Amino acid sequence: MRAYWFLGVVLTACLPNGPPTASKESNEEGRKTALSKKVMLVRPSASAAAADPLLAEVFTDDFERGSLGAAWRSVGVGWKIQDGRLCGQGARNRGIWLARRLPLNARVEFDAVSSSPEGDLKVEVWGDGVSGATGASYSNATSYLFILGGWKNTRHVLARLDEHGADRWEIRVDSSGEEPRARPVKPGHVFHVQIERNDGRTISWMVDDVLLHRFTDESPLAGPGHEHFGFNDWETPVCFDNLRITPLPG
């Protein structure tokens, strides 16, 4: 009798005392739906970018405040003001755009720092001001992409519309640091970056006064859909500061 009593206790304890919980599949589907809604809530419309004022004079931002403010348009998560800098992490190529339209020719300067040995400092110039990656690879950008220490600090890349494109310009990182153009991103080092177009088609990219790339685009990204500047990020913790954009003649 004692054995039968024990078995009854075990069976009773194993019976559910409430409604059945959702399956793993339904929980996952709910998570995906919630994430989709979250991304949709922060993704602005193209009309918002088209209505942004055109920069006709020097624009600066030192990020010495508590919140992003109306001058910035985030299309993803992970962006915030921290210790007087604009910082991001885990944005997955859904960046943050300046709500100002760039002229055809401009000089963009800023400071950038990564907290990770993987580097991966990324910005976009002359993009549409509203887009971000819609998949794992950022192959549908609207801009020129500048990536310092990308792919786990192995490449410095300048790409047009597709960061994985076969037509991108890249420098393989040399960990010895002997070649100035090929030096890796060091955690905590503040880089001064300058990007410029002054003739409507030639793009130059300098880092710490060293020219990394210069090329002439025969079909330059310009006009509606290609008038904005933005900071971007994949996974690594990065920060940006002391932004200065100078309109240039032409």
pLDDT tens digits for 160-218? 999 999 999 999 999 998 899 999 999 999 999 999 999 999 999 999 999 999 999 99
Give the burial string for 78-110 (b: 16+ CB within 10 Å, else e). Answer: bbebeeebbbbbebbbbbbbbbbbbbbbbbbbb
Structural domain of 82:
53-247
In a domain, 6, yes or no: no
Of residues 142 and 7, more confidence is placed in 142
Regarding beta strands 96-98 and 228-232, do their DSSP bridges make them parallel or antiparallel, or are they unpaired?
antiparallel
> pLDDT (tens digit, 9 = 90+) per residue, 220-247?
999 999 999 999 999 999 999 999 999 9
CATH code, domain with 170: 2.60.120.560
Q: Number of structural domains, the chain?
A: 1
pTM of the predicted structure, to 2 decimals: 0.83
In a domain, 18, yes or no: no
Confidence category of residue 37, pLDDT binned at 50, 70, 90:
very low
In a domain, 65, yes or no: yes
In a domain, 34, yes or no: no
In a domain, 147, yes or no: yes
Which value, to the nearest 10 degrees, does the dihedral of the CA atoms of residues 99, 104, 106, 111 take? 50
In a domain, 222, yes or no: yes
- Provide mean pLDDT across the span 14-37: 39
In a domain, 36, yes or no: no
In a domain, 118, yes or no: yes
